[in-house]
Copies of this chain bind each other. A is one copy, B any other.
Amino acid sequence: MFSKSCKYGLRSVIFIAGQAGENKKVSLTAVASGIDSPQAFTAKILQQLTKSSIVNSTKGPYGGFFIRKEDLETILLSDVVSVFDGDSVYTGCGLGLSKCDAKSPCPLHDKFITIRANIKVMLNSSLAAILNSEAEENLMFLKR
């Protein structure tokens, strides 16, 4: 469904969103151990997230990564996914055909429409929605 990078990205963002605000930042080490991912690779993931300004960061002592509370409403999971996997998740043909569309559908075209619609709905969730709906507890379960 998603690339490994994308999964790390999603877990990172959800973890940071649940932990850190402008006052309380989390370090790379904290994120990597919080989502149980390889630290050096997670550093690269976080760089991509900060470059696309989904996550904020500050260097130096007491620095780290964070997401402002007011941004939790506007950041969507789809924003994170598109950083790592582009829009292939919602747009590509399930069988890999570039010419597949409503006029020249592949044999699975209609069945994929439903699935893509569901994925779109899911990824349209804001971070705030994820954090609320999950009643805090499930944030414990970001480890593999």
Residues on A lying within 8 angstroms of B by beta carbon are 1-2, 4, 7-8, 10-11, 14, 77, 89, 92, 94-100, 104-109, 111-112, 114-115, 118-119, 121-122, 125, 130-131, 133-134, 138-144
* Contact (A107, B138) CB under 8 Å given A1-B89, A2-B94, A95-B10: yes
Are the CB atoms of B107 and A130 closer together than 8 Å? yes
The 10 A-B residue pairs with the shortest CB-CB distance, nearest first, are: A7-B96, A111-B122, A104-B141, A115-B118, A107-B134, A97-B144, A107-B130, A107-B138, A7-B95, A98-B144
Excluding A104-B140, A109-B138, A115-B122, 16 further A-B contacts by CB distance (< 8 Å) are: A1-B1, A1-B89, A2-B96, A7-B94, A7-B96, A11-B95, A11-B96, A95-B142, A96-B144, A99-B144, A105-B138, A107-B139, A107-B141, A111-B121, A115-B118, A115-B119
